[in-house]
Every structure is written in structure tokens, then in C-alpha cells.
């Protein structure tokens, strides 16, 4: 005789079945984590790999710092679109190329500076996958040493935030940026152009960001944008000077 199941029993059955249905994909993903030698620190970012590089499976290369620092592709596209009048964009902390690739995809000429030669090799490989390597001049070097000789319409700054532990502080102050504090980084950029874009932690002290405008006379215009991926806040982009007004073409 058939008995009527309680709603609790039905719930248990359904959840067991849905777990079984998920099993093959989970196993496949877990196998890939092992095959690719993904470290525990990187694992969380690896699961977001297609948000970071939609063409990941075509041979994209990242090292540990690259994994946790690369700008997610949709954010990098948005930042690049804001440079619509620019001819030359300088990416001062280029990493494995997440931003440089998207600037180049908009047909800007990109000067990509990165201090770590291994990352530059990865960035060249990644740019090739996106077919934009011809639009990027990769320079292995220290941004602060190179800054006095650089010329460009927009300077893009996504410096190191001190690793994934940046989240532990309630308010991320600009002195926590690396390799120098936010004011020093901004001033080096300002000597090139007032059209500056900065990608900063979501917990950044916005009052300090505002203070950066006052390093110029008259103070620079600025605009702050929160950047989400799949509904999660990933960071904050600040547009200064002509980048705020989208007027950064060659003068
Ligand atoms: P996250 O907060 O470490 O990851 O980095 P997530 O997935 O948001 O973690 P959650 O568990 O808090 O949800 C978010 C994004 O910030 C990364 O995808 C990078 O684009 C950027 N980012 C993180 N770090 C540590 C750096 C950094 O040091 N430098 C730069 N330029 N970007 C970073
Ligand atoms: N926007 C990049 C990620 C940048 S992470 C992307 O989307 O891929 C910050 C990078 O700054 C790191 O790769 C680090 O090696 C580099 N860096 C640190 N100090 C530097 C310096 N003085 N000059 C140039 N690059 C530097």
C-alpha cells in the first residue's frame, strides 16, 4: 500500500538526488584542480577562472600572485571602454596582462610595465591568445624608475594590495598599497598625465581617495565606480581628470 510521504521525507530524497546529479561535474573539477597543481591559496580564484579570462582553456598562464591579482575580464573591459579617446594607455603594474589585453582589444596602443620578468612572459603568452600582442609594448622594469621617461594619454594603476589579506582590515588605507604608498604612486602617475585610473580594494578609505584630487591645483575631477562580478563586489575603480570626464585624447 502506498503511504503518503511527509514533506520532510520528500525534501531528504530530493536533496540526495540532486547531490548525486552534481557528483560527476564536481569530480571532474576536483580532478582538474589536482592535474593543474592548483595550490590551496589559488583554488578559490581557479574556480572563478572563466570570470578572470574567458579564454582560460586556450592556454592562459598565471602564477600565484597573478591568480589573486588579475582584474576580472568584465571589469577590465569596462575600464578599457572608459578610455575611448585615448591613443596610448600606460599600464604601470601589468601583472599577467588582464588589463593590458582589454586596453589593447579596444585598439589602443598599450605600454605594459611589470617588474617581474616571469609575469611579463605570461602576459605575452596571454596577449597572444587574445590576438592583441602587437598592440602592447611589454617592458620589464620598475614603474617608478621609468615614470619620468613615459608619455601617454591615460595612466592605469593596479598596484599590489598586499595579497588576499587586504580584506582583514576594516578600512584599507592608501599607505597599505605596495611597493609605495598610494600618494607616491599617484604622484608618479600625475607627472605623466592627470588622466589616471586606479583599481583599488573594495574596502578602500574613500575619503583618502578623494584627497588624491587635492594633490593637483585646481583639484582633479574624479568618479568612483564599484565593480561587481556575478553580483559580488570585487573592487573599486577611480577615474581622475580627463578619465572621469572621458576626455583623455591626445592634446
Ligand atoms: P579577493 O577579495 O581576494 O577575491 O580579490 P574574492 O573572490 O572577491 O574573495 P571573497 O572571498 O572576499 O569573495 C578580488 C579581486 O580583487 C581579484 O579578483 C583581483 O582583481 C583584485 N585583487 C585582489 N588582490 C589581492 C589584488 C592585488 O594585490 N592587486 C590588485 N591590483 N588587484 C587585486
Ligand atoms: N592588473 C594586473 C594585475 C596587477 S597586480 C592584471 O590584471 O593582470 C600588480 C603587479 O605589480 C604585480 O604583478 C607586481 O609584480 C607588479 N609590481 C610591483 N611593483 C612594481 C613596480 N615597481 N613596477 C612595476 N610593476 C610592479
pLDDT tens-digit map of 17-33? 445 455 566 678 888 88
216-245 burial code (b ≥16 CB/10 A, e <16): eeeebbbeeeebeeeeeebbbbbbbbbbbe
Do 72 and 125 belong to one domain?
A: yes
Residue 150 forms part of a structural domain: yes
Higher pLDDT, 151 or 13: 151
Q: Looking at the CA of residue 229, tell me the nearest atom of ligand 1.
A: 8
Residue 97 forms part of a structural domain: yes
Terminal alpha carbon distance of the chain: 86
pLDDT at 195 over 90: yes
67 lines ligand 1 (CB under 6 A): no
Do 42 and 82 belong to one domain?
A: no
Do 126 and 229 belong to one domain?
A: yes
Do 39 and 122 belong to one domain?
A: no
- Residue in 40, 69, 232 to alter for ligand 1 test, most ligand atoms within 8 A of Cβ: 69
Q: Looking at the CA of residue 199, tell me the nearest atom of ligand 2.
A: 1
- Compute φ and ψ for 86, nearest 5 degrees: -85, 150
Residues in the ligand 2 pocket, defined by CB under 6 Å: 65, 69-71, 93-99, 113-116, 119, 142-144, 158-160, 179
Do 98 and 75 belong to one domain?
A: yes
Q: What is the pLDDT of residue 251?
A: 45
Q: What is the pLDDT of residue 249?
A: 55
Averaged over 86-98, what is the pLDDT? 98
* The total number of structural domains that make up the chain: 2
Rounded distance between C-alpha atoms, residue 29 and residue 31, angstroms: 5
Do 75 and 42 belong to one domain?
A: no
79 lines ligand 1 (CB under 6 A): no
- Residue in 68, 160, 200, 230 to alter for ligand 1 test, most ligand atoms within 8 A of Cβ: 68
Q: Looking at the CA of residue 146, tell me the nearest atom of ligand 2.
A: 23
Do 75 and 137 belong to one domain?
A: yes
Do 121 and 77 belong to one domain?
A: yes
- Please write the tens of the pLDDT for every residue from 45-90: 999 999 999 999 999 999 999 999 999 999 999 999 999 889 999 9
Do 222 and 105 belong to one domain?
A: yes
- Please write the tens of the pLDDT for every residue from 134-151: 999 999 999 999 999 999
Averaged over 149-157, what is the pLDDT? 97
pLDDT over 90, % of the chain: 78
Q: What is the pLDDT of residue 22?
A: 55
Residue of the nearest CA to atom 7 in ligand 1?
45
pLDDT at 35 over 70: yes
Residue 219 forms part of a structural domain: yes
The pLDDT mean for the chain works out to 90
Residue 1 forms part of a structural domain: no
> Containing domain of residue 215, as a range?
68-245
18 CA → ligand 1 middle, Å? 31
Q: Looking at the CA of residue 95, tell me the nearest atom of ligand 1.
A: 31
Q: What is the pLDDT of residue 203?
A: 98
Do 126 and 174 belong to one domain?
A: yes
Residue 250 forms part of a structural domain: no
Do 151 and 188 belong to one domain?
A: yes
Averaged over 187-204, what is the pLDDT? 97
Residue 49 forms part of a structural domain: yes
Residue 138: other Cβ atoms inside 10 A:
22
Residue 2 forms part of a structural domain: no
Q: What is the pLDDT of residue 3?
A: 46
pLDDT at 12 over 90: no
Residue 251 forms part of a structural domain: no
Q: What is the CATH number of the domain that holds 239?
A: 3.40.50.150
Query: Which residue has 583639484 as its cell numbers?
Result: 219
Residue of the nearest CA to atom 20 in ligand 1?
71
Do 149 and 173 belong to one domain?
A: yes
Amino acid at each position: 500500500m502506498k503511504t503518503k510521504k511527509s514533506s520532510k521525507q520528500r525534501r531528504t530524497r530530493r536533496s540526495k538526488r540532486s547531490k548525486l546529479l552534481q557528483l560527476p561535474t564536481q569530480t571532474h573539477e576536483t580532478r582538474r584542480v589536482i592535474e593543474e597543481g592548483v595550490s590551496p591559496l589559488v583554488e578559490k580564484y581557479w574556480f572563478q577562472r572563466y570570470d578572470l579570462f574567458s579564454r582560460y582553456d586556450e592556454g592562459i598562464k598565471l602564477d600565484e600572485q597573478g591568480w589573486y591579482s588579475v582584474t576580472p575580464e568584465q571589469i577590465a573591459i569596462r575600464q578599457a571602454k572608459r578610455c575611448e579617446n585615448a591613443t596610448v594607455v600606460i599600464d604601470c603594474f601589468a601583472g599577467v596582462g588582464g588589463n593590458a589585453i582589454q586596453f589593447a582589444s579596444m585598439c589602443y596602443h598599450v605600454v605594459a610595465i611589470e617588474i617581474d620578468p616571469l609575469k611579463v612572459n605570461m602576459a605575452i603568452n596571454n596577449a597572444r591568445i587574445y590576438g592583441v600582442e602587437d598592440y602592447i609594448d611589454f617592458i620589464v622594469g620598475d614603474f617608478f624608475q621609468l615614470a619620468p621617461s613615459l608619455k601617454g594619454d591615460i595612466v592605469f594603476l593596479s598596484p599590489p594590495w598586499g595579497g588576499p589579506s587586504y580584506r582583514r582590515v576594516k578600512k584599507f588605507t592608501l599607505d597599505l598599497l605596495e611597493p609605495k604608498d598610494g600618494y607616491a604612486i599617484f604622484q608618479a602617475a600625475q607627472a605623466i598625465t592627470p588622466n589616471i585610473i586606479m583599481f583599488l580594494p573594495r574596502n578602500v578609505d574613500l575619503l583618502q581617495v578623494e584627497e588624491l584630487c587635492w594633490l593637483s591645483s585646481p583639484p582633479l575631477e574624479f568618479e568612483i565606480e564599484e565593480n561587481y562580478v556575478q553580483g559580488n563586489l570585487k573592487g573599486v575603480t577611480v577615474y581622475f581628470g580627463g578619465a572621469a570626464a572621458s576626455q583623455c585624447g591626445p592634446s
